[in-house]
Copies of this chain bind each other. A is one copy, B any other.
């Protein structure tokens, strides 16, 4: 059994990680830390866990964490970078669900996240945990930077086009819609049901922290700098991301459907839908799948890719578990086999 610890864990990624790890056949949950909630049984905060998880939030204790095989950081940015080195030195694998190690260009990271990076050397080592791109590196990694939720949906949707050089990489558009759980489980007015319910709005149009992450990934795939307009929207639902992606074909081809099917043929969690499909976010609620549909309206130059994920699963905790499975040589699907709820 893999001994797993969680740092943080009072947020939505945390409870989702607890759900997935508690049901994982090869994992033993060892501890979960939270300064603010130390002493509170986890199942009191998250009653879905009653009867399944009897851990109590504890103060972070480096000694206890060092006894784990793997430690997940489900913390805001700026936390994992201060603790990862010490754990790695003691042979603990680290999977950061936050943003600390996602951006390879440290000055770029510092600009977007507004703080100095305390562990730039680890940024270089960290493997970006998108298995559909970096599977082999993930298997060998000590430190994983789990992708953000929007970056997962957008990159999986655009990668085949970009890898094959089929579209104008200077004018990509990603119009993404997220449920409010993406904003986290913290007291705030903007995501009250009374404020975010029954309404739709864009936010962060001038610049969202996931933009440089997506651009980094697509640029790497393209081998040249991409130009992306990224507009996230807050949607009145709890879970789910729907990314609607627009690209101009420079090399019109009729084989998009085949291209995507082949690109993801061996991927356990990427599901290319039949032609003329419109994936619903609810079709991936609670599961690690990304469902993708392809359109080329009027057989014109514009490709429209529809890509849906559950922001808390493939966009966060499920992907973290998928990475863990790869790192420890398990079946990549272990603990991620449940069927989603519908309705």
Contact = CB atoms under 8 A, between A and B. Distances in A.
A197 B339 CA distance: 19
Interface residues of A, number: 85
Q: How many copies does the complex hold?
A: 4
Interface stretch (A85-93, A232-240, A254-262): A232-240
A49 interface: yes
Contacts of A248: 171
A47 interface: yes
Interface string A265-300: 000000100001011111111110101000101101
Interface in A20-64: 22-23, 46-52
Contact of A246 (B180, B229, B239, B283): B229
A195 B279 contact: no
Interface stretch (A65-73, A200-208, A322-330): A200-208
Contact of A48 (B179, B200, B227, B342): B342
Q: State the 5 A-B residue pairs at the shortest beta-carbon distance, nearest first.
A: A199-B282, A47-B283, A48-B342, A48-B340, A187-B187
Given A48-B284, A180-B193, 16 more contacts: A19-B339, A48-B285, A48-B342, A49-B342, A185-B195, A187-B188, A193-B197, A195-B343, A198-B237, A198-B238, A199-B240, A199-B280, A202-B244, A229-B302, A231-B244, A235-B235
Interface of A: 12, 15, 19, 22-23, 46-52, 171, 173, 175, 177, 179-181, 183, 185-189, 191-203, 205-207, 227, 229-231, 233, 235-240, 242, 244, 246, 248, 271, 276, 278-287, 289, 291, 295, 297-298, 300, 302, 304, 306, 308, 337-343
